[in-house]
Amino acid sequence: MKKIFSFVFLFLVFSCTKNDQTPQSTDPFTIANFELDGRAISYRYTNASTTPTFTLYFSEPVDRQSAEAGLVWSNNTGNIPANFSFSHKDSVVSVTPASPLNYWSTSYLTVSTELLSASKKPFSSAFFIKIITQINLAPKFTTISDEELLTLTQQKTFQYFYEFAHPASGMARERNTSGNTVTTGGTGFGIMAILVGIERSFITRQQGVQQINKIVTFLEKADRFHGAWSHWVDGNTGKVIPFSTKDNGGDLVETSFLVQGLLTARQYLAPTDTVGNNLIKRINKLWEAVEWDWYRKNNEQVLYWHWSPNFNWDMNFPLYGYFEQQITYVLAAASPTHSIPKSVYNNGYGKNGSIKTGNLHYGIKLPLGTPSPLFWVQYSYLGLDPHFSDEYANYWEQNVNATKINYLYCVANPKKYPNYGESCWGLTSSDNQVGYNAHSPSNDLGVITPTAALSSFPYTPAESMKALKFFYYTMGDRLWGTYGFYDAFNISEAWMANSYLAIDQGPIVVMIENHRTGLLWNLFMSAPEIQSVKTKLSFTP
């Protein structure tokens, strides 16, 4: 009886002990939620503070000893020391960098499988979160007057076309990394910038005339295709450098930007100056050799952008409608030797009236086109004063309204990019963090391009001045370099270009001057051919 009692007792004790054990959970160790400074779950946080707190909510308590290896804050130079705190029975972990992060920097918080639960289960699936801190809003430079800031911006940017000009040709390099590749359109803008440099006493008149003489001498020997230059040229040899496989011949639009600059310089040069007088004749010869009518492709009622001796018209880009090329049609109609009739302007550029749109954007009427990259209202109008109308639009209204729409889009900031607003705006074609793109309200990648707002000074002087101050004082030496403002930046990606592009730098110098004095508009519009073409194309003031 005693043995039986003992057996029953041991059985009960064993059974109770076994039944009291809690079975180990088979559920995975996961995360339920996380946040940065109270901001909702995201795998990418922008505009974060420099002392952020990352809070993670796990499905069960965390093994504290594994936190340092399993929750790692890092940047591109290595791991960032962090502090950890635990709450809710260790199922909630907060991670904070041990010292403040740099402004406008990128770091990452990685949650790896080295993180264990209190029951020693590894975290189920590793992931990382990207954190981009806010910019430092403190001024980076000493405050100067608005007029001094405009002059400083022009002077620094001008040096791209003088100090950094190709040494053999005097032409503008395509960009600051282009070596011997020079650009025809950008050089046209650069010639106009040289005139500003003379007038603003950045260089002497003699230095400016000598630089223009060097450019003209080079253009006289450079490859031409029925009078038109190619987009890119070798600055040493004058030989064409293909812009793309079949784009190895004449580029009529880039040629028109170049001729706009040449005619502006011709009007500036003094006939009484021996060198100047020689240059006037030589510029006329270059201008009169452009066979604008050839680019009608067998007398079609439209101009074509490209022609190649190897590929003929294969590029097949007729210049229909409104974009950057009104100056091309104006110069083609103005040519004293190879002119086009008004019917080509009407059918090609004007699309026989269908060019007109007149839609409202942010309550503002846009007579032509849709909200576009801002170079559309700048390149043609560096010399061509937009205070005129034709059958399709009032171009001052068109350009002002297009610029205001671009500005108001950035202020509205529908994509919620950090710092977009009244002082940080301007979308146009430029470099970006992955290449090059035509940024606009319909193609907004978070990239602000200084030339967009700064070359809009004639159209939006108050808004452009706010942008200039933001670029100079707030973005500071991160954006301001040897030749003025770098090409573009993206605050949401902590990205800054290290590039300068001729076609972006030139309009800054020229359009600020047109805003201040109207210099380039007055010179170009004084050309007798341009005065005559206003009547031919039915332009009215």
CATH label of the domain that carries residue 115: 2.60.40.1220
Confidence of residue 19 (pLDDT cuts 50, 70, 90): very low
**pLDDT attached to residue 9:** 33
Rounded CA-CA distance 2/420 in Å is 89
pLDDT in tens, 85-121: 999 999 999 999 999 999 999 999 999 999 999 999 9
Domain boundary among 133, 167, 197: 133
pLDDT in tens, 227-274: 999 999 999 999 999 999 999 999 999 999 999 999 999 999 998 888
Buried (b) or exposed (e) across 165-201, using 16+ Cβ within 10 A? bbeebbbbbbbbebebbbbbbbbbbbbbbbbbbbebe
pLDDT in tens, 24-63: 557 899 999 999 999 999 999 999 999 999 999 999 999 9
**pLDDT attached to residue 455:** 98
The enclosing domain of 389 has a CATH number of 1.50.10.140
Identity of the residue numbered 250 = G
For the chain, what's the residue count? 541
pLDDT in tens, 264-282: 999 999 988 888 889 999 9
Same domain, 342 and 460: yes
Same domain, 422 and 447: yes
pLDDT in tens, 435-480: 999 999 999 999 999 999 999 999 999 999 999 999 999 999 999 9
Domain boundary among 83, 100, 133: 133
Same domain, 100 and 194: no
Which residues lie closer than 8 Å to 201 by C-beta, 6 or more apart? Answer: none
Percent of the chain with pLDDT over 70: 95
Is pLDDT above 80 for 217?
Answer: yes
Structure tokens at 309: 């001796």
Same domain, 230 and 119: no
Same domain, 71 and 198: no
Same domain, 504 and 386: yes
Domain boundary among 90, 106, 133: 133
**pLDDT attached to residue 451:** 98
Same domain, 404 and 506: yes
**pLDDT attached to residue 299:** 97
**pTM for this entry:** 0.92
Does a structural domain hold residue 4? no
Same domain, 104 and 169: no
On whether the CB atoms of residues 306 and 315 are closer than 8 A, the answer is yes
Residue 226 Cα to chain centre, angstroms = 33
Does a structural domain hold residue 500? yes
Does a structural domain hold residue 488? yes
Is pLDDT above 50 for 10?
Answer: no
Q: Mean pLDDT over residues 186-200, rounded?
A: 98
Distance separating the N- and C-terminal Cα atoms of the chain: 124
Does a structural domain hold residue 337? yes
**pLDDT attached to residue 276:** 85
Exposed, middle or buried: residue 271 (CB in 10 Å: 0-12, 13-18, 19+)? exposed
pLDDT in tens, 313-322: 999 999 999 9
Nearest to 31 by CA among 74, 2, 60, 68: 60
Does a structural domain hold residue 205? yes
96 to each of 47, 59, 93, 102, how far by Cα in Å?
A: 16, 21, 10, 14
Phi then psi for 44, rounded to 5 degrees? -155, 115
Mean pLDDT value across the chain: 94
Rounded CA-CA distance 268/523 in Å is 7
Does a structural domain hold residue 208? yes
Instruction: Name the residue range of residue 103's domain.
Output: 31-133
Does a structural domain hold residue 24? no
pLDDT in tens, 470-511: 999 999 999 999 999 999 999 999 999 999 999 999 999 999
**pLDDT attached to residue 25:** 58
Same domain, 82 and 171: no
Structure tokens at 284: 């006329």
Does a structural domain hold residue 139? no
Rounded CA-CA distance 406/106 in Å is 29
Percent of the chain with pLDDT over 90: 94
Is pLDDT above 60 for 14?
Answer: no
**pLDDT attached to residue 27:** 87
Is pLDDT above 50 for 17?
Answer: no
Confidence of residue 150 (pLDDT cuts 50, 70, 90): very high
Same domain, 314 and 350: yes
**pLDDT attached to residue 15:** 39
Is pLDDT above 60 for 6?
Answer: no
Is pLDDT above 70 for 414?
Answer: yes
Rounded CA-CA distance 417/200 in Å is 38
Structure tokens at 328: 């091309």
Which residues lie closer than 8 Å to 191 by C-beta, 6 or more apart? Answer: 212, 215, 258, 261, 262, 264, 265
The residue among 403 and 3 whose pLDDT is bigger is: 403
The residue behind tokens 């603003």 is 200
**pLDDT attached to residue 1:** 39
pLDDT in tens, 165-187: 999 999 999 999 999 999 999 99
Same domain, 350 and 226: yes
**pLDDT attached to residue 459:** 98
Same domain, 183 and 227: yes
- The total domain count for the chain is 2
Q: Mean pLDDT over residues 292-296, rounded?
A: 98
